[in-house]
Structure 1
Amino acid sequence: MKHIVWDWNGTLFHDIDAVVGATNEVFRPYGLPALTAEGFREVYTRPIWRAYERILGRPLEEGEWELLDAGFHDHYHRLMADCDLADDCRATLAAWEGAGGSQSLLSMWMHDRLVPAVAEFGIDIHFSRVDGLRGPGGGHKAEHMVAHVQALGVDPREVLVIGDSVDDAHAAQHVGARAVLYSGGMTHRRELEATGLPVVDTLTEALEYA
């Protein structure tokens, strides 16, 4: 592999506590029991509104998704201040760069928040491109991966996608790239393994498949 496309939330950025905390806040008015990180992983899927329907045990009503999504982000942006990069994030990015590989970042988080956050951690220097979501959120990553790879001008057969969700796997397959899935994020390891793709417990380990 010549190029790695990294995911942000739950992969390079270890924000599971903020995600679970924000989710519990928006569902507090429903009187539901608070989720643990493991409980959240049991229901997490994309599109996100499907996960919310799993939590509620029913389809979302008209307008409910928009309210929940806005509320989630309000709480998340407050709670994420206490989160940090994954333990081996910096070392892994530096190692791949040192090996002569190129890398970029594609996230389903808001672009105007993603770019300054990556820069604030001082890791933007490692990426040839950083893309976040520029429109409504909650959907699948596949079409965004198409645009990202096209903008990079790389052969997708030379691309390895590293992320923490089944959606990352589908996005990679959609463009003809390979994928490695990381167990330290939002998705239960059992669900990641069900894809048949390699599943790793550290970012450093993911480089073994590059």
Structure 2
Amino acid sequence: MTHIVWDWNGTLFHDIDAVVGATNELFQSYGLGPYDAEGFREVYTRPIWVAYERMLGRPLREGEWELLDAGFHDHYHRLMEACSLAEGALSSLRAWEESGRTQSLLSMWGHERLVRKTGEFGIDGHFTRIDGSRSATGGHKAEHMVEHLRALGVDSAKVVVIGDSVDDAHAARHVGARAILYTGGMTRRSELEGVGVPVVDSLADALDLV
């Protein structure tokens, strides 16, 4: 493998406390929660509106998704300021770069915020390309992966995707790349293992597998 496509939220960026905290604030008015990290992982899935329907026990009403999504991000963008890079993120980025191979970042988080945050952490220079979502949030990653690799001009057979969700594995499979899934994010290990790709508990272990 010569190129890694990293995921951001829940992978390089250890933000589960902000995600759970924002979700708890969002659903407090519904009389739900509070969830801890493990409780949240039990209901979490992508697309995120399906997780919200699980929590509510009913389909979302017309216009409700947009309100919930906006509310979540208001809380999340405040709480994430206390979050840091995942353990081993910086050393993994440096080690891969020093090996002479390339890496990029693909996230479903807003593009402008992603670029700004990676710059704040001083890690933007490790990536040959950074792509966040330039449209509404909450969808699947596969089509974004197609565009990301096309823009990079890399052979998908030489790519490994490292992420924390089933969606990351599906996006890798969609383009013919390998995937390694990390347990530090929002998805419980048993669900990750059901995809049939390697599952690791640290980014260092992911790099060793590559």
TM-score, normalised via structure 2 length: 0.99
**AA partner of residue 33 (structure 1):** G
Which residue of structure 2 lines up, in the alignment, with residue 169 of structure 1?
169
Report whether the alignment pairs 1:139 with 2:144: no
Deviation at 1:208, TM superposition (A): 1.9
Q: Which residue of 2 aligns with 1:23?
A: 23
Mapping for residues 1-210 of structure 1, pairs under 5 Å: 1-210=1-210
> What secondary structure is seen at the aligned counterpart in 1 of 2:154?
coil
Which whole-Å CA distance do the structure 2 matches of 1:33 and 1:173 have between them? Answer: 35
Take 2:23 and 2:32, find their aligned partners in 1: how far apart are those partners?
A: 11
Question: Pairwise CA RMSD of aligned residues?
Answer: 0.6
Deviations 1:23-73 (A, max 9, x none): 111111101121110011111111110010111111101000000000000
- Deviations along 1:52-100, one digit per CA (max 9) or x if unpaired, are 0111111101000000000000000000010000011000000111111
Gaps spanning 5+ residues in structure 1: where? none
Say which SS state the counterpart of residue 148 (structure 1) adopts: helix
CA displacement, residues 96-151 of structure 1 (integer Å, 9 cap, x when unaligned):
11111100000000001000100110001100000000001101000000000000
Count of residues in correspondence between the two structures = 210
* Helix, strand or coil at the partner of 2:122: coil
AA in 1 matched with 2:80: M
- Supply the distance in 2 between the matched residues of 1:33 and 1:128 (Cα, whole angstroms): 41
**Identity of counterpart residues, as a percentage?**
72
CA distance in 1 between counterparts of 2:185 and 2:209 reads 19
Q: Write the distance in 2 (CA, Å) between the matches of 1:30 and 1:62.
A: 17
| Structure 2 residues not aligned, in runs of 5+ | none
* Equivalent position amino acid for 2:83 in 1: C
State the distance in 1 between where 2:80 and 2:164 align. 18
TM-score (norm 1): 0.99
> Secondary structure of 2:116's partner?
helix
CA distance, structure 1, for counterparts of residue 39 and residue 108 of structure 2? 22
